Amino acid sequence: MASPTQVPPIRHRRSLSGPIVLIAIGGIFLLGTMGVLNWGNLAHWFAHYWPVILIVAGIIKLIEYQAAQREGVRASGIGAGGVFLIILVVFFGLLATQASRFNWGELRDQIDIDDSDFTLFGQKYTYEDRLAEAFPAGSALHVNDIRGAVNVSVGNDDQIHVSVHKRINADNAGDADKWNAGTKPTISVSGGVVTLNANNQAAGDHGIATDLDIQIPRKAAVTISTRNGDVSVVGRDGEVQISAQHNDVTATDINGKVSLTLERSSARVSQISSDVSLEGRANDVSVEDVKGAVRLDGEFMESVKLSRLAQGVTFHSSRTDLQFFRLNGDLDLDSGDLSASDVVGPVRLSTRAKDVRLTGVAGDVRLQDEDGTVELHMSKLGSVQLENRKGDVQIYVPDKAGFQVDARSRGGDVETDFDGLKVDNREDQATATGTVGGGGPHVVVTNEHGTIEIRKGSSVAEVRPVAPAPPATKAPRARPAQPSTPAVTEN
pLDDT at residue 307 greater than cutoff 80:
yes
- Burial class of residue 11 (count of CB atoms within 10 Å of its CB; 0-12, 13-18, 19+): exposed
Q: How far apart are CA 231 and CA 253, in angstroms?
A: 15
Nearest CA among 158, 153, 161, 162 for reference residue 136: 158
382 phi, psi to nearest 5 deg: -115, -170
Three-state DSSP state, 30: helix
Neighbours of 452 (CB within 10 A): 27
Residues 62-78: pLDDT tens digits? 877 777 777 776 666 66
- pLDDT at residue 122, as a whole number: 56
Residues 382-402: pLDDT tens digits? 999 999 999 999 999 999 899
- pLDDT at residue 255, as a whole number: 97
pLDDT at residue 120 greater than cutoff 60:
no
| Residues 196/212, Cβ–Cβ less than 8 Å | yes
- For 22, 36, 51, 62, 94, the CA distances from 29, given in Å and listed in that order, are 11, 10, 19, 27, 21
Nearest CA among 427, 418, 376 for reference residue 400: 418
Mean pLDDT of 224-236: 93
Task: Label the pairing between strands 150-154 and 186-190.
Answer: unpaired
- pLDDT at residue 208, as a whole number: 86
Query: What is residue 483's DSSP assignment?
Result: P
Residue scoring higher pLDDT (408 or 470):
408
Mean pLDDT of 256-272: 95
Peptide bond into 346 cis (omega under 30): yes
Q: How far apart are CA 224 and CA 194, in angstroms?
A: 12
Buried b (16+ CB within 10 A) or exposed e, 466-489: eeeeeeeeeeeeeeeeeeeeeeee
Nearest CA among 319, 330, 384 for reference residue 354: 319
- For 297, 372, 412, 426, the CA distances from 453, given in Å and listed in that order, are 33, 15, 10, 16
Neighbours of 113 (CB within 10 A): 15
| Residues 258/232, Cβ–Cβ less than 8 Å | no
Percentage of the chain exceeding pLDDT 70 = 79
Confidence tier at 52 by pLDDT (50, 70, 90): confident
- pLDDT at residue 84, as a whole number: 77
The 3-state secondary structure of 234-271 reads EEECCCEEEEEECCEEEEEEECCCEEEEEEEEEEEEEE
- pLDDT at residue 461, as a whole number: 54
pLDDT at residue 99 greater than cutoff 80:
no
Q: How far apart are CA 51 and CA 89, in angstroms?
A: 8
Highest mean pLDDT among 35-39, 298-302, 485-489: 298-302
| Residues 425/414, Cβ–Cβ less than 8 Å | yes
Task: Label the pairing between strands 347-350 and 321-324.
Answer: antiparallel
Kindly report the average pLDDT of the chain as a whole number.
Answer: 84
Q: How far apart are CA 360 and CA 166, in angstroms?
A: 51
Q: Which residues are registered as beta bridge partners of 326?
A: 344
Residue scoring higher pLDDT (483 or 398):
398
- pLDDT at residue 205, as a whole number: 59
Q: Which residues are registered as beta bridge partners of 254?
A: 236, 272
- For 249, 254, 473, the CA distances from 241, given in Å and listed in that order, are 11, 11, 68
Name 379's Cβ contacts closer than 8 Å, sequence gap at least 6. Answer: 342, 360, 361, 362, 398, 457
- For 62, 77, 83, 123, the CA distances from 18, given in Å and listed in that order, are 14, 12, 12, 35
- Name the helix (H) or strand (E) containing 162: strand 159-170
pLDDT at residue 127 greater than cutoff 70:
yes
Residues 152-200: pLDDT tens digits? 999 999 999 999 999 988 778 888 898 889 889 999 999 899 999 998 8
